[in-house]
Structure 1
Amino acid sequence: LEQKIQSGSIKLIYLTPLHQYPTTVTLPIARRMAVYQLAEKYSIPIVEDDYDHEFHYRCQPLAPMASNDPQQLVIYLSTFSKIMFPGARIGILAVNKTLAKAVAEYRMIISHKGNALMQLALAKWMEEGGFERHLKRITRIYMARRENAIKCLAQHNLFDFICPDGGMALWVKLKSTSINTSKLAALARHKGIYIQHEKQYHTVPQSNRNHYLRIGFASIPERKFNEGLSILVKLINTKAQSLS
C-alpha cells in the first residue's frame, strides 16, 4: 500500500474493515492502525464502509475506525438497507465539520429532495423502541441461519471455509481445484440458484483462480438454503468433468 501511495496513484483508501467484502474477514486492530498511520503520514482520507455492523455474532464487534480518528481522516458510511429492507434507501454519512458543508452541497446537486417520509417513519420507529426490537429479532434469525449454513457446508467434503465472526455470507473455497467456480455459478443459475463467484471481484483478471464462492445465508430460510446447497452439491458431483 505504501508503495502504491508513493507512486502517487492513491488518493483515497476505501475499507470494509469489520466484515471485508467479499471475504467477510475482520481486519485486526494492528492492521487497522497500520493503515491509519499510512493515511496520516500521507494525508489520505479513509472511507470506512460499515455496511453490516449490527450483524456480528460471536462477540462484540470492533469499534469503527471512525471512533478513534484523532486526525479526522475517516469518512464513515453505514446503511439501513441491510437492517430493514433494500428499498429503505437510507444511509448514514459521518464526516468532520470541514467536509460536512461540501458533502451537504454536493448531495443537493444530486437530489435536493430526500425521502422525508421514510426518514420520519424511521425516526418514529426508533423513538417507540421498534427498531431495537427488530434488530434483536433479526440478529437472532441471522445467527441461526449462519449456524445452519456452517453445519450444512461442513457435512460435505467439498468445501473449505473459515467461520466469520459476523456478516451475512460465507466465503467458501472448493477443495477440488479442477472445478471452475464461474462455470459452476452459471450451471447453478439455470437451476434457480444465484451464487457469487471469485471472478466477479477481481479487477485484475490474471489474479482470478476460480476457486471461491460467496454464499449468502441471511435472506434465505434454513429449509431453502439446505435445498439449494443440495442442488449445488449434486452439480459438483455429477458435472465435475464439465466444470473443469
Structure 2
Amino acid sequence: MSSPVEIPFESLITIDRENKTPVYQQIARQIIISIQQGILRAGVKLPGSRTLAARLTVHRKTVVAAVNELDAQGWIEVIPDKGIFVSSRTTETYTTTLPLHSGTLPTYPGHTGFAFKQSMLLDRPVSLSPADLEFTDGLPDVRLAPLDKLSKAYASVLRRNNSRKHLGYSHVEGNEYFRDKLAIYLNDTRGLQPGTSNILTTRGIQMGIFLVSMLLLEPGDTVLVGDLSYYVANMIFQQAGAHIRSIPVDEHGISLEAVRKLCVTSKVRMLYITPHHHYPTTVTLSAERRIELLNLSAQYGFIILEDDYDYDFHYQSSPVLPLASADRSGMVVYIGSFCKALAPGLRCGYIVAPQNLIAELAKLRRIIDRQGDMVMEQALGEMLHEGEIRRHLKKAQKIYQARRDELCQLLHDNFQEHITFHTPPGGLAVWTEWTRNVNLLRISRECLRYNLHLPQTLLFQTGKLSAVRLGFGNMNEAEMNKAISILAEVTRRTGKD
C-alpha cells in the first residue's frame, strides 16, 4: 500500500473559497476524480483527518465531513486501527493512469471516444447577443405578455385539490381540456372545425414540423418550398432525407403554375407553405390561389403542410382564412402556436389534422416528449375559455400596428436611397429590399459595435437579391427610433462595397 506521504494532495485538491459549493464537497469531489482517473489507486492509504486538514489549510471538521461523504458513496474503506484506504471495489474498472505528480486534475473530455453521425445541415446556430437593441425575425414583445393572468391561472391549477391529475401521465395528445377549448378557439378565429381528436399539442412550430416530417417523409421524397423559405423548416426536411425544390413567389404568393409543372413531371410528396404571411417576404397568398392549391393537392396527391406562424396579427382587414378551413379532402396538415401570440419562451403549439394522422403522430411524439406540460396547457385552456387570450391579442394588435407604422415611416425617412418595401398587411416584420451595392454583412457587424444586433439570419444577400427582414414587434417607439438611427448611420458610413 502507498504511503500517504507520497501523494501530493496539495496539488490534487484546489479549494475555491469563492465557489458556492461547500469546501468539504469540493475536497470529496476532487478525490473522487483522482480515483476515477487512476491517480489514486486501489488500496492507497489516505492521510488522517488532522494531517490532511493541515496540508489543505482547512478545519479538521471539514476533512471529516469530506471523508464521511466519500465513505457514504463507497469510494473509501475505513479500517479500524489501520486507517482510510481507497476502496478496491470502486477502482477495478478504471484503467487510465496519469503521472502522480501531474499537478492538475484532468478536465472533462473534449471529444468522444466513439464515432457518431454529424450533420452540416444543422450548423446554422441560433443568433444571440447581449446588445440592448435587436432586430428580430418577427418576435413579439414579451413585456406585453399577460404574465399576471397566466401566473394566476397556473398557480390556481396547482393549488386545487385535483391538481394531481395534471402532474401524472395523461393523454399523449395533450391536455384534453386545453384541446377542447383550443378547438373552439380555432373554430371562432380561423374557421377550422376540429374536435379534440384532431389536435396534438407540441412545444411549438418547429416541433410540429419535425414530427410531421419524420412521419410523412422518406429519403428521396420531393418537398416544395417557396423561394425564399423558412430556413429551419428546410433543415428539417433535409434532415429527413427529402429533396427540396424551390417555387417562385410573387406579390400574390407562391406560383401555382410552377407547382403544377413540377407535379406533371415528378412525384411531389409535400408542399410547405406559410400562406398568411409568406416567410420571409410577408406576402399573403391570394384567395384564388388558395382554392386552386387545394384542388392541385387533391388532384396530384401531395400533402400541404400549412405553417400559420403569425395568423393572430393582421391589421388592414379581416384575415384570409387558413387553407385548412376549406380542406375537404384531408390533404392539409395545419400547424400553429401561441409562441408569437404570448411569448417565445412559452412553448405551446399544436398540429391539426385528420384523426388517423394525429393518432400516429402521437405515437411518435410519445418517444421524445411524453405529453408536454399538462399544467401549463390547463392554464392556457382556462385563459381561452375566459377570453383572456383574445383580450390580450386585441390589445397587442393595436400596439403592434402602431409599431409597424412607426417602422415604415422611419424606413421611408431614412433609407429612401437604399431600400424599397411594402407595408405588410400583418405579422411582426417588414421585408426590405436593398440596393445591390450595400454590404449587409458588414452593416450587421458594424451595428454590433453600437449595441444594435442585426442577426445574420435576417440577411438575404445573393447574386440576385439583397434584402433584410426587420422585426419590429419587440421594440417600443423609443427603442425603434434609436435602432433605426444606428442602422442609418452605419449604412451611410460603411454599407457600400
Aligned to 1:177: 436
Q: Return the offset for 1:132.
A: 1.7
Residue 141 in structure 1 maps to residue 389 in structure 2:
no
Aligned to 2:377: 119
Change (3 A) 1:170 1:99: same
Q: Among 318, 342, 348, which residue is 1:84 paired with?
A: 342
Is 1:182–1:210's contact at 8 Å kept on the other side of the alignment?
A: no
Q: In 2, Cα distance between the equivalents of 1:71 and 1:160?
A: 40
Alignment of 1:87-236 (within 5 A): 87-156=345-414, 157=416, 158-174=418-434, 176-195=435-454, 196-199=458-461, 208-236=463-491
Q: In 2, Cα distance between the equivalents of 1:36 and 1:187?
A: 46
SS, match of residue 451 in structure 2: coil
RMSD over aligned CA atoms reads 1.6
TM-score (norm 1): 0.90
Q: In 2, Cα distance between the equivalents of 1:3 and 1:214?
A: 30
Q: Return the offset for 1:125.
A: 1.7
Aligned to 1:12: 270
Q: In 1, Cα distance between the equivalents of 2:467 and 2:450?
A: 19
SS, match of residue 470 in structure 2: strand
Gaps of 5+ in 2: 1-258
Is 2:433–2:465's contact at 8 Å kept on the other side of the alignment?
A: no
Q: Return the offset for 1:10.
A: 2.9
Change (3 A) 1:113 1:97: closer
Aligned to 2:196: none
Query: More displaced, 122-131 or 225-234?
Result: 122-131
Q: In 2, Cα distance between the equivalents of 1:215 and 1:55?
A: 16
Is 1:182–1:198's contact at 8 Å kept on the other side of the alignment?
A: no
Q: Return the offset for 1:193.
A: 2.3
Is 1:180–1:210's contact at 8 Å kept on the other side of the alignment?
A: no
Structure 2 counterpart of 1:228, one-letter code? A
SS, match of residue 88 in structure 1: coil
Structure 2 counterpart of 1:221, one-letter code? N
Q: In 2, Cα distance between the equivalents of 1:194 and 1:221?
A: 16
Change (3 A) 1:56 1:149: same
Query: More displaced, 220-229 or 1-10?
Result: 1-10
Change (3 A) 1:187 1:4: farther
Structure 2 counterpart of 1:166, one-letter code? G
Is 1:172–1:212's contact at 8 Å kept on the other side of the alignment?
A: yes
Q: Return the offset for 1:148.
A: 0.6
Q: Return the offset for 1:9.
A: 5.8
SS, match of residue 213 in structure 1: strand
Q: In 2, Cα distance between the equivalents of 1:39 and 1:231?
A: 47
Aligned to 1:30: 288
Q: Return the offset for 1:179.
A: 0.7
Q: In 2, Cα distance between the equivalents of 1:32 and 1:208?
A: 31
Is 1:51–1:79's contact at 8 Å kept on the other side of the alignment?
A: yes
TM-score (norm 2): 0.45
Q: Return the offset for 1:191.
A: 2.7
Structure 1 counterpart of 2:488, one-letter code? V
Aligned to 1:61: 319
Q: In 2, Cα distance between the equivalents of 1:168 and 1:38?
A: 30
Runs of 4+ in 1 over 4 A off after TM superposition: none
Q: Return the offset for 1:25.
A: 0.6
Structure 2 counterpart of 1:213, one-letter code? V
Structure 2 counterpart of 1:183, one-letter code? R
Structure 1 counterpart of 2:409, one-letter code? K
Q: Return the offset for 1:233.
A: 0.7
Structure 1 counterpart of 2:426, one-letter code? G
Q: In 2, Cα distance between the equivalents of 1:160 and 1:134?
A: 33
